Amino acid sequence: MTMRLHNLKPRPGAKHRTKRLGIGESSGHGKTSGRGGKGQTARSGGSIRLGFEGGQMPLLRRIPKRGFNNANFRTIYTIVNIEQLNTFDNGATVTPEALVEAGLAGKLFEGVKVLGNGELKKKLTVKAQRFSTSAREKITKAGGQCEELPLRSIHHKEAAAPAPATKPPAGDK
């Protein structure tokens, strides 16, 4: 039997009746229609925002916040494993841009870090911002080279040159 538009059917269990609310007490979905008793949540539009505790000081504001959080200043690397580098030809030079072209890396962020997961079967010159110790060993063992590149700056804009100082115009004396 060939598949045609007229004999397509949904999978068993994919279609079922919608829950009809407010159609009498004996239906099981009458009276309060599954919204519980009275109050804010029983009303239409009566939703309470996440973390709201009825006017009580919320937990997130009650707990102490101390110390320095480095999350805003962390260095974000695009991770590439040694195993993935086998897609390149023998003797090729692997750069962050080549990784993006090959589809092995998405966004480059501040740089590429090569990790030593897997085995490298080709002699490659790998240029990246960081290498794990095992990745560096495996690349040199395969006869390749590791070259460290400087970090790319994505968080902080380059400081603009300061504007030249101008003297205020001399007033009439």
For residue range 65-104, list pLDDT tens digits in order.
888 888 888 889 999 999 999 999 999 999 999 999 999 9
Say yes or no to pLDDT of 133 above 80.
Answer: yes
**Which pLDDT score, from 0 to 100, does residue 169 have?**
65
Task: Please check whether residue 96 is in contact with residue 112, taking contact to mean a CB–CB distance below 8 angstroms.
Answer: yes
d(CA 30, CA 19): 11
Locus of tokens 């994919």: 14
Alpha helices in 1-149, H assignment, sequence order:
59-62, 96-101, 133-141
**Which pLDDT score, from 0 to 100, does residue 163 have?**
58
Name the residue ranges covered by the structural domains of the chain. Answer: 91-148
Q: Tell which CATH classification among 3.40.50.2300, 2.30.130.10, 3.100.10.10, 2.40.50.140 matches the domain 91-148.
A: 3.100.10.10
Locus of tokens 């997961």: 117
Mark 38-73 as b/e (b = at least 16 C-beta within 10 Å): eeeeeeeeeeeeeeeeeeeeeeeeeeeeeeeeeeee
Say yes or no to pLDDT of 139 above 90.
Answer: yes
pTM above 0.85, yes or no: no
How many residues can be counted in the chain?
A: 173
pLDDT tens for residues 104-125? 988 888 999 999 999 999 999 9
d(CA 11, CA 5): 15
**Which pLDDT score, from 0 to 100, does residue 107 have?**
87
**Which pLDDT score, from 0 to 100, does residue 141 have?**
93
Exposed/middle/buried for 101, CB within 10 Å: 0-12, 13-18, 19+? exposed
